[in-house]
Homo-oligomer: A and B are copies of this chain.
Amino acid sequence: MEAKNTISQMRRGILEFCIVSLLAKQEIYTAELIDSLKSADLIVTDGTLYPLLNRLQKAKLLQYRWEESDSGPPRKYYSLTENGEGYLGELNKAWQDITGSVENILRGNKSE
């Protein structure tokens, strides 16, 4: 109800982190990416993913190659570039910082 918008907000940015993490493990194309995210209970549509992947690719964090399919048009298989690996490191650290901050707040570790 009230929380819906905020909860999708919570997922922003985290989504990119998850995608980069998944791509660090294996080459993957968009539909598979959506399935992987869905099995981790992060719902996304392709209208969200394509712009995001293009953005990361233009930033040289991702690369892709075309691969033909047995059952339809060719697919773009994405993977991390070397820059992307470093970027993943930054995101990992940021994620740990954020979960740490949230835990501090929930536990009430205030400096007063």
Contacts and interface: CB of A to CB of B under 8 A. Distances in A.
B9 A16 contact: yes
Given A7-B94, A8-B13, A41-B100, 14 more contacts: A2-B61, A3-B87, A6-B16, A6-B17, A7-B90, A10-B12, A10-B14, A10-B17, A10-B94, A18-B101, A21-B106, A40-B101, A42-B98, A95-B102
Interface of A: 2-3, 6-14, 16-18, 21-22, 25, 36-37, 39-42, 59, 61, 83, 87, 90-91, 94-95, 97-102, 104-106, 108-112
Interface centre among A3, A98, A106 (most CB of B within 10 A): A3
B10 A98 contact: yes
A29 to B, nearest CB: 14
Contacts of A100: 41
